[in-house]
Homo-oligomer: A and B are copies of this chain.
């Protein structure tokens, strides 16, 4: 099956999606057996080809940028769509970094010898076929292709229609790199239509697709969670908290809070909600309010906060549940650690929550009590990230509990099989 033959207009879209998924499945059986050398060769070659063709990619991106207002994209969305020479260079560099990471396939994760002499190995293998759905940012095409390929998975990419030209230009180059390296071009596919129904069809094909990863806004993730018949790796909301305990070093606390909120407010691990121990209302709270104001952060506080910070607005219930992704923070004064834990478990999104404290016992109670993918003690929430936690490149941060939690790198894109070696053992 030739990929260009799969996508032939919008007639019989279901059959086209099925053909696409079946091709991926067929090729995925071989991808798991590629050596690290074969995989890294492709990654490095693709990086070079992308560099050589940067001009062509940026031109295609220009077409998307010009069409953007016609799609009703906001300024922020058009910025996400924009590929600058720097952004492209960073994505290309990402492929080289993936090449430098160890091969996640074939790793013996555990092994034991049973009393009857059986040798039992637990060996990592690729998941198989991954459907990757994303929006706006065309550089994600490069990241996703690189991570899925290195982890031995066949991938079906489906970007947003607003990034069609950019994604197609990148995809053609990735394809050329596969052909040059004599790897079946179907290892990396891109859905060849912007028709919305294609996603619906693909989400039914659990026999051929092992995992779907939606990366985008809440409405995309909710639609996928509702319709998908295969597992979904969700990167959901990040309503991240910092609890400022009673015993603290105020300089450290201020530094961590400002960094968590302001260093990059538009990302999922940025601080959105502050819980402050009641002992701080007269000293640290005013100091912090001042520091936040200097940085241009709008404060929405509980009644006590507003009493001590005249510039603050009253927070609503919605504020405590909000993922602002901009220079706004909600603040609530709490009586004790337990109230902070209860608040976080109620309003939070199980993404990243931090405590600032000098008291070991309180740090431990916080770690135990808060049910989030990452719990941080005395550091910025912004560290919850694949690179910062030492996983290398990541495909997203899972807010699910099943399979993988927190940053998902190469290893999280694999599963395992049991390999049992005997010499004639039978069960009595």
Contacts and interface: CB of A to CB of B under 8 A. Distances in A.
Nearest to A382: B427
Interface in A394-410: 400-403, 405-407
Nearest to A376: B420
A368 B402 contact: no
A422 B376 contact: yes
B345 A427 contact: no
A240 B125 CA distance: 20
Interface residues of A, number: 64
Given A401-B128, A402-B127, A402-B402, A389 B420 contact: yes
Interface stretch (A14-22, A140-148, A411-419): A411-419
Contact of A382 (B374, B407, B417, B426): B426
Contacts of A389: 114, 120, 418, 420
A285 to B, nearest CB: 20
Interface in A102-152: 112, 114, 118, 120, 125, 127-128
B380 A425 contact: yes
A358 B118 CA distance: 16
Interface stretch (A64-72, A193-201, A255-263, A313-321): A255-263
Contacts of A379: 118, 420-426
Contact of A415 (B369, B378, B405, B424): B405
A405 to B, nearest CB: 6
Contacts of A417: 371-375, 405-406
A33 interface: yes
Interface string A222-247: 00011001010000000000000000
A249 B402 CA distance: 43
B418 A384 contact: yes
Given A389-B120, A390-B112, A418 B259 contact: no
Contacts of A405: 415-418
A401 B210 contact: yes
A306 interface: no
B427 A259 contact: yes
A3 interface: no
Nearest to A427: B382
By Cβ-Cβ distance, the 4 closest A-B pairs, closest first, are: A379-B422, A259-B426, A374-B418, A252-B424
Interface of A: 29, 32-33, 112, 114, 118, 120, 125, 127-128, 210-211, 225-226, 229, 231, 249, 252, 255-256, 259-260, 263, 345, 363, 367-369, 371-380, 382-384, 388-390, 400-403, 405-407, 415-427
